[in-house]
Amino acid sequence: MIILMIFTGFSVYNSKKLSEKISVQEPAIFEIQGNKAIMVGIINENIVYEVENLVKNHPNVKTIIMLDVPGSVNSNENLKAGRIVRTNNISTIVPKNGYIASGGTVFFCAGINRTIGEHAKIGVHSWKNNVVTDASKIPRDNHVHKPYINYFKEMGISDEFYWFMISSAPSFGIYYLNEYELKKYGLITS
């Protein structure tokens, strides 16, 4: 795995702990490296605890580098965690060849400054839950959209991005944003 990381541009984040998590569908973790936290894994119901722990125990961390965050399984907790990131003025970065998608992309948007490296993949799609099978099929004035619209507004991102996100691919698919779209929707701040 370490060799793969070197060839893909991840060598700067070389550690046994992280290399074991890459491409594994395990809960998101943060590994502290100086004033940065390297994030890998699936965002789940523990993400608020993990982010609170990061802020409390590592107040010098002002950047989260999202190396491989392929999604979330708990949207409500993801939105809460994102708000903690924003409240604490933490920046988010997807490094060269990094990968975020779905709830990972939503979390990324919380960064006070947001940077995306060369050849990084940023994926979006419609969401679903136990009741809704595809958010893009629900009328725009339905209350189920409000938590996301409010969240993106708080992050300084237009609701235009939310509507694009849920219409870009069905909940079982994925759409990767191109550079034009990343800039158009304000995902990149620097």
Q: How far apart are the first and last CA of the chain?
A: 30
- What local confidence, expressed as pLDDT, does residue 129 receive? 83
- What local confidence, expressed as pLDDT, does residue 57 receive? 97
How does pLDDT run across 105-163, given as a tens digit for each residue? Answer: 999 999 999 999 999 999 999 998 888 889 999 999 999 999 999 999 999 999 999 99
State the virtual CA torsion across 150, 181, 39, 154 in degrees, nearest 10.
-20
- What local confidence, expressed as pLDDT, does residue 17 receive? 52
Higher-pLDDT residue of 13, 85: 85
Q: At what angle do helices 75-87 and 146-154 cross, to 10 degrees?
A: 20
What is the mean pLDDT of the segment spanning 55-72?
97
Query: What distance separates the 2 farthest-apart alpha carbons in the chain?
Result: 49
Domain 16-184 grouped into CATH 3.90.226: yes
Give the whole-angstrom CA distance, residue 167 versus residue 155.
20
Total-model pTM: 0.88
On whether the CB atoms of residues 123 and 178 are closer than 8 A, the answer is no
How does pLDDT run across 5-58, given as a tens digit for each residue? Answer: 433 444 344 444 554 555 457 999 999 999 999 999 999 999 999 999 999 999
Which residues, including other chains, have CB under 8 Å from residue 92's CB and lie 6 or more apart? Answer: 63, 64, 65, 66, 85, 107, 108, 109, 110, 111, 113, 114, 115
**Size (the chain), residues:** 190
On whether the CB atoms of residues 59 and 37 are closer than 8 A, the answer is no
| CA angle, 178 then 175 then 12, to 5° | 65
CA separation, residue 185 to residues 8, 155, 161, 181 (Å):
27, 12, 6, 6
Question: Is the per-residue pLDDT at 73 higher than 50?
Answer: yes
- CA 24 to chain centroid, in Å, comes to 16
